[in-house]
Amino acid sequence: MTPKKNGRISLARLAEGERAIVATLDGGRRILCRLVSLGFTPGAELVMIQNIGGGSLIVQVRDARIALGRGEASRILVVPLLLTD
């Protein structure tokens, strides 16, 4: 993966099992509204559960599993966490 500046990448490009912190959200008010109420706020930690091919993906955020379309996921920029162990 080629990180954007500040190490941010689109959520859609996070690999399965990787952890990341939400950096920014972008999009229309409706989508933003739904995303933040589901727990996608800057600073929230998430884990990619499933990201296969070009389809929708599954993310775990604030203990909940959320399915997102690829388009919706690309509106979320995240900073991947490096695994320490």
Partner 1 sequence: MKGMGKTIALAGQPNVGKSTVFNLLTGLHQHTGNWTGKTVELKEGEYQYQGVAYLLVDLPGTYSLTSGSPEERITREYIIREKPDLVVAVINAALLERGLYLVAELLALQVPLVIGLNMMDVAAREGILIEPDVLSAALGVPVVPLEATRKAGISELVQTVAAVTAGTRKLEPRKPDIRQDHKELLNRIVRLIGAIDTTPYPLEWTSMKLLEGDEEVVRMVEAIASSEVWREIQELLRQHDDALVAVATGRYEWIARMIRAALVRPQTGPISLTHRLDRWLTHPGWGVLAFAAVMAAVFSLTYSVGIPLQEFLERGVVRNLQGLVSTWTVALPWWVSGVLSEGLIGGIGTLLTFVPILAFFFVFTALMEDVGCLARAAFVMDRFMHAMGLHGKSCLPLIVGFGCNVPGVLGTRVIESTRARLLTLFLVPLVPCTGRMAVIAFLAPIFFGPQAALVTTGMIVLALIILFLSGVIGGKVFFRQERASFIMELPLYHIPNSGTIGMLVWQRSAEFIRKAFLVILPVSLVVWALSRFPSGDVSESFLAAISRGLEPVGALMGFDWRLIVALLAGFIAKENSLATLAVLFGAGGGAALSVLIRSAYSPAVGLAFMVSQLLFIPCAATVAAIRQESRSWRLTLINISYLFLISTILGIAVYQVALWLGLGK
Residues of the shown chain interacting with partner 1 in the complex, contacts defined by CB under 8 A: 25, 28-39, 41-44, 49-50, 52-53, 55-56, 58, 62-69, 71-72
9 or 61: whose CB is closer to partner 1?
61
* In the complex, minimum distance from the CB of residue 78 to partner 1, in angstroms, rounded to a whole number: 14
At 43, list the tokens.
């600073």
> What span, in angstroms and rounded, lies between the C-alpha atoms of 9 and 2?
8
4 or 62: whose CB is closer to partner 1?
62
Tell which residue, 3, 9, 4, 18, has the closest CA to residue 58: 18
At 47, list the tokens.
């884990």
